[in-house]
Amino acid sequence: MVKFRCLIPAFRTGWFARPTTVNHGHVSNSFLHDFLDEMQAENIKHHLRKFTRLPHLAGTQQNLDLAEQIRAEWMEFGLDSVELVPYDVLLSYPNQTNPNYISIVDHLGNEIFNTSLAEPVPEGYEDVTDIVPPYSAFSAKGQPEGELVYVNYGRTEDFFKLQRELGINCSGKILIARYGKIFRGNKVKNAMLAGAKGIVLFSDPADYCANGVEPYPDGWNLPGGGAQRGNVLNLNGAGDPLTPGYPAKEYTYRSGLEDAVGLPKIPVHPIGYHDAVHLLQHMGGPLPPDNWKGALNVSYRIGPGFMDGLNQNKVRMNIHTNNQVTRIYNVIGWIRGAVEPDRYVILGGHRDAWVFGGIDPVSGAAVVHESVRAAGKLMKKGWRPRRTLIFASWDAEEFGLLGSTEWAEDNARVLQERAVAYINADSAIEGMYTLRVDCTPSLHTLVYDITKKVSSPEEGEEGMTLYQSWHKRDNSTERDAPWISKLGSGSDFEAYFIRLGIASGRARYTKNRKTERYSSYPVYHSVYETYEIVERFYDPSFRRLEAVARVRGGLIYSLADSLVLPLDCVEYAMSLTKYANSIYQLALKHPAAMQQHSVSFDSLFSAVENFTVAAGDFHQRLDQLDTSNALDVRMVNDQLMYLERAFIDPLGLPGRPFYRHIIFAPSSHNKYAGESFPGIYDALFDIENAVDQQKAWDEVKRQISIAAFTVNAAAETLKPFVN
C-alpha cells in the first residue's frame, strides 16, 4: 500500500474547496469591458472579406503577401513590434503538369474511369488562378494498381473487424475509406500497417451533408464535386518532418527524406462523392455491416475487387505529388507588458488556407485581427497589459502545424520559463448552434467567467449572456455548467500544450453535437470554404464571430492583466479525479488479468488525492495573499504558471517523444481526440490480444507508476516552498 502524504479530511476536497470565480481581483475591469466592446461584428466581417479574396496556401507568394499585409496592419493598430519569422520546412504540392487522379482500369490496362482533376469553382471565383486541386499532402508518389477494399472510416476498430471478423486481408490492396470520425493521417497509418498499396479517401454524404440542407451555393452542404484536402502525416508533434526537435532554420541539419518523420509510404488521394460512386458501385466481396453503409446510392460491398463479370477491373492511383523544402512565414506581434514583460500570454492562429479559407482559418484569423485592433485602440487610451501579449499568425498549419511548432521549438527555452498561457485561434465557427470550448482544466473557471461578460449572439436571446445561452444548449453531464472538453490536437496549440506544458485553450462556435451527426462541417477543406458561406449561412450578422472574438480576447486580456493569474488548480484536481476513475474503469474490464498481474491503481488515486489537497490548500492560501507584496504575488503566480509544466515528462510518451504531457495527449488512434492518462490508455489498448501478457501488463504497471509520480510531483509544486 502506498503511503499517503497526509490524511485528507473530506470537507477540503472537490467542489467544497472550489472558488466560485478565480481570483483575478485586480484586473482593471473597466478596460476589460472596453476591450470586449471594442471588438465588433462589422470589423470582423470586413477582415474576413479582405483575407479571403485569394487563395493563400502555405509556401506561396500570396501567403507571404498576406503576411506582409498583416504585419503592416498590426503595426498600424499599435503593437510595439511585429516581425516575420521564416522557417524552411518540408511542404508538399501536386505536380502542376502531371495531375493526380484515380482510375478504374480494365483487364487490358485501359483507364475506363478517371476521377475529376479539380472541384467545380464556385461562382464569383472563376477567374482565380492558383487554386490547388484536392490532394493529400505528403502522399507518396506512385501508380499502384490493385483490387479495391472498402474499410469504412479506416479506424483501428474497422481494421480489427476486417481482419478478425471478416477475414479480409488488406495486404497488397488499394483501400478506400470514407472521411470522418478520425484524423485522416490515422487512416493512412492504419492502411500502411495493414500492408495496403495505397488508400483513397472519399467524402460520403452521410458524413458531409446535413439533413435538409442544400449543397453549396444554395446551402452549406458539400457538393458532390467537392473533396477534402489535407495532410496525411503522422508527425506526433514533431513539426517539420526533416528537423524534429529543432527549428527549421537556414543552418539547421536536415535528415534525408528516408529518415523524415511521419511521411506515408503509400499513395493517398481524396475524392468527392460523385467520383466515389464510380469506385464503390459493383464492388465484390461480402456485404458490409449495416453501420458501414454510407449514404451513397450504391449497394455497398467490401471487396476485394469488383463484381464485373470477369472480375478483372482494378483500381489505379496516379499520384505525382512532390515534397519540397519551402520557406514559410509566421507573423509575430508583441505588446510589451507594463509590469512583468517577462510573462507571455499568446493568442495564435494560422493564416495559411487550402484555398480561400473562408472558415478555416480566416474566420479565426479575422478574429485575431480584430483582437489586435482592439488592443491597439486600448493602448491609445493609455492601457498596457501587466504582462506581455504575443499575437501569432502561423503559417503551414495545414501541413502539420509546422509554423507554430517550429516557433515553439525555436523559442522553447523562453516559453518554458515565461509563457503563462496559449489561446488558439483556428476557425472561429464550424456550426450555428452554440459555443464550444476545449481547454486545460485550470482555465475552466476563467472561461465561465468570461462568457458571463459576453452577450449571446443568438437572435431572440437579447439580454442573455453567452454563458446562459451556452449553458442552456449544452449542459455538462457532470455538473450544472456548460460542457467543456479536453484538448485533442489538429491545431496549433499542440506544441504549446502537449510538448511544452503551457496552459492552453480554444473556443469556437459549433453545431449541436447531440443532433448533428455529420463530421466537422460539410465544406471543410474544399474550395467552397468562401467568404460567402459564412456571410450567407454560418453567421450573417457576424455576431457569432464577435462572440468568439470576445471569448478569446477576454481570455488573453484576463491572463495578461490580472494581478493574480486566473488559473484554477481545484478544477485541475477535479478533472484528474475524473480521469483516474475513468482509466480505472477501463482497466477493470480485465478483472482476472488485473488480479493475476497484481495491477493496482492505488498509487494513482493516492496521488490524485494528494493533488486535490494541495490544490485546495493552495487556493486557501491564495485568499490570504498580501497582494501589495509584488514578490509574494509573483511567487504564487509562478506556481500557477508552472502547474501545467509539471505534467510534462521530458522522456515523453512511449514512441512519441514530442507528446510529453502525462495527463493529455492526442489519441494514438485519432489525432483530433484528446486522451487522458494516454500512457496508461495506450498500454491497455487491445491488451487482451497482446502476445506476451506479462510484458503487456508490466507496461500498464509502469505507466500507472509514471502517472502517479507525475501527479504527485505536480502536487508538490503547489505546496509551500519550504518543507
Q: In whole angstroms, how close is the CB of 716 to its own copies at the nearest point?
A: 6
The verdict on 287 binding its own copies (CB under 8 A) reads no
The verdict on 110 binding its own copies (CB under 8 A) reads no
397 catalytic per annotation:
yes
Q: In whole angstroms, how close is the CB of 340 to its own copies at the nearest point?
A: 6
Candidate residues 414, 596, 686, 689; the one interacting with its own copies per rule CB under 8 A: 414
Task: Give, to the nearest 10 degrees, the angle between helix 543-561 and helix 466-473.
Answer: 110
Expressed in angstroms, the distance from the first to the final Cα of the chain is 24
Candidate residues 12, 327, 377, 702; the one interacting with its own copies per rule CB under 8 A: 702
What's CA 476's distance to the chain center, in Å? Answer: 21
* Piece of 288-296, 507-515, 588-596, 638-646 that binds its own copies (CB under 8 A): 638-646
Please, which of residues 186-245 interact with its own copies by CB under 8 A?
245
**Residue 182: which of 157, 148, 217, 149 has the closest Cα?**
157
Q: In whole angstroms, how close is the CB of 549 to its own copies at the nearest point?
A: 24
Number of H helices, E strands in the chain: 21, 19
Candidate residues 250, 290, 459, 692; the one interacting with its own copies per rule CB under 8 A: 250
Burial class (CB in 10 A: 0-12, 13-18, 19+), 377: middle
**Residue 658: which of 364, 239, 256, 336 has the closest Cα?**
239
Cell numbers placing 406? 517550429
- Residues 113/117/119/120 CA torsion (nearest 10 deg): -80
Task: Give residue 174's identity as a one-letter amino acid code.
Answer: I
In the set 485, 541, 600, 705, the catalytic residue is 600
Q: In whole angstroms, how close is the CB of 428 to its own copies at the nearest point?
A: 27
Strands 419-424 and 268-271: unpaired
Measured in residues, the chain has a length of 723
Candidate residues 148, 428, 547, 646; the one interacting with its own copies per rule CB under 8 A: 646
Residues 503, 647: contact at Cβ < 8 Å? no
Q: Which is nearer to its own copies, 52 or 603 (CB)?
A: 603
* Piece of 351-359, 416-424, 436-444, 543-551 that binds its own copies (CB under 8 A): 416-424
Q: In whole angstroms, how close is the CB of 534 to its own copies at the nearest point?
A: 33
Please, which of residues 297-356 interact with its own copies by CB under 8 A?
332, 334, 336-337, 339-342
The verdict on 363 binding its own copies (CB under 8 A) reads no
Number of Cβ atoms within 10 Å of the Cβ of 632: 12
Owner of C-alpha cell 503595426: 75
Tell me which H or E stretch contains 546: helix 543-561
Give dist(CA 572, CA 314) in Å, integer: 54
Q: Which is nearer to its own copies, 170 or 389 (CB)?
A: 389
Owner of C-alpha cell 455491416: 289
SS3 627: coil
Candidate residues 308, 537, 645, 693; the one interacting with its own copies per rule CB under 8 A: 645
Candidate residues 167, 514, 626, 721; the one interacting with its own copies per rule CB under 8 A: 721
In the set 34, 157, 516, 638, the catalytic residue is 638
606 catalytic per annotation:
no
480 catalytic per annotation:
no
259 catalytic per annotation:
no
Q: In whole angstroms, how close is the CB of 703 to its own copies at the nearest point?
A: 8
Please, which of residues 571-610 interact with its own copies by CB under 8 A?
602-603, 606
Owner of C-alpha cell 508490466: 698
Residues 395, 353: contact at Cβ < 8 Å? no
Q: Which is nearer to its own copies, 558 or 639 (CB)?
A: 639
The verdict on 6 binding its own copies (CB under 8 A) reads no
Give dist(CA 441, CA 426) in Å, integer: 20
The verdict on 26 binding its own copies (CB under 8 A) reads no
**Residue 173: which of 165, 181, 164, 162 has the closest Cα?**
162
Cell numbers placing 598? 497484481
Candidate residues 638, 672, 690, 693; the one interacting with its own copies per rule CB under 8 A: 638
In the set 617, 661, 668, 669, the catalytic residue is 661
Candidate residues 61, 81, 311, 596; the one interacting with its own copies per rule CB under 8 A: 81
Catalytically annotated residues: 397, 600, 638, 661
- Tell me which residues touch its own copies (CB under 8 A): 2-3, 80-81, 83, 245-247, 249-253, 255, 332, 334, 336-337, 339-342, 388, 410-414, 416-418, 602-603, 606, 630-631, 634-635, 638-639, 642, 645-646, 649-651, 657, 660, 698, 701-702, 704-706, 708-709, 713-714, 716-717, 720-723
